[in-house]
Amino acid sequence: MLALSSQAALAAAPTLEDSIAQRAVACIACHNIDGKRGADGYYPRIAGKPAGYLANQLINFREGRRAYPQMIYMVDNLSDDYLHELAGYFSALEVSYPPPPLAVSAAVAARGQALVQHGDAAKNIPACIACHGSALTGLAPAIPGLLGLPRDYIAAQFGAWRNGTRRAAAPDCMGKIAQQLSTDDVGALAAWLSAQPVPAHAKPATSLPAPLPLDCGSVPH
């Protein structure tokens, strides 16, 4: 009877589909369903970001340029081809949702908006939109959108660039910019950016009106 029951259980076991969508299920434990972003306000939105950017970050974790144990464990033994396939899957997703309310003073919000839209020439800081696009949805294939990211995540990434625990292929343009920003500037940027909505059907731009203000090793010419 036990043998028959075991055989029946094996016969009834569900068969999982062999697709990139099924394999990406492991990612939603932190990044939420459809890569929308984690519920705890730290893990970033990955849905709809340029595929080249997502692939670069997965490779950076694997190669030690970014340090987060869970991500390193996930990608440590995965090939470039597999990581590019996973990046392409999340890049094709479209997710829009309302942002959290702005929880800083008007002066702090204004400073954040000014840095995003105009930069700060006195500090040699380019505007965020000069690289990430006027709609802040990124630039294909390798510059990320900045919308839909939690405030704590944005601030933490600037901190990681400043202390060297997050790096990119040289020349590391964001590492250079992060060194120019004060702690107050980082807080203002994170607060303003995190309060902006992700528009429906947001897609990375395909071109910019002017050349990039800095050379970036992760961005193909």
Closest by Cα among 122, 112, 124, 83 to 185: 112
Give residue 103's pLDDT: 83
**Domain assignment of residue 215, yes or no:** no
Q: What are residue 139's DSSP bridge partners?
A: 143, 205
Query: Tens digit of pLDDT for each residue in 126-145?
Result: 999 999 999 999 999 999 99
Number of domains in the chain: 1
pLDDT band at 17 (very low <50, low <70, confident <90, very high): confident
176 inside domain: yes
What is the extent of the structural domain holding 148?
Answer: 16-194
The answer to whether residue 205 is domain-embedded is no
Q: How far apart are CA 52 and CA 168, in angstroms?
A: 13
Spatial separation of the C-alpha atoms in residues 147 and 201, rounded to whole Å: 13
Q: What is the CATH number of the domain that holds 65?
A: 1.10.760.10
Local confidence band at 80 (pLDDT 50, 70, 90 cut-offs):
very high
Residue 5 inside a domain? The answer is: no
Q: Which residue in the block uniquely carries the two structure tokens 């919308």?
A: 147
The answer to whether residue 54 sits within a structural domain is yes
Structure-model confidence comparison of residues 155 and 14, the more confident one: 155
- What is the model's pLDDT at position 95? 75
Whether cis (ω within 30° of 0) applies to the bond prior to 171 is: yes
- Start-to-end CA distance of the chain, whole Å, equals 68
Interhelix angle for 80-91 vs 51-63, to 10°? 140
Residue 135 is assigned to a structural domain of this protein:
yes
Contacts of 122 (CB under 8 A, 6+ apart): none
Using the structure block, give the residue that is written with the tokens 């980082």.
Answer: 186
Q: For residues 158 and 54, give the distance between their C-alpha atoms in angstroms, rounded to a whole number.
A: 18
The whole-model pTM stands at: 0.81
The per-residue pLDDT of the chain, averaged, comes to: 89
Q: Let me know if residue 107 belongs to a domain.
A: yes
Domain presence at residue 210: no
Q: In this predicted structure, what is the pLDDT of residue 117?
A: 98
Looking at the DSSP bridge assignments, the partners of residue 66 are 166
CA angle 155, 157, 161 (to 5 degrees): 120
Most confident of 17-31, 39-53, 117-131, 198-212: 117-131
Specify whether the CB–CB gap between 177 and 214 falls below 8 A: yes
Look at residue 196 in the predicted model and tell me its pLDDT: 92
Average pLDDT over residues 60-79: 94
Alpha-carbon Rg for the chain, nearest whole angstrom, is 20
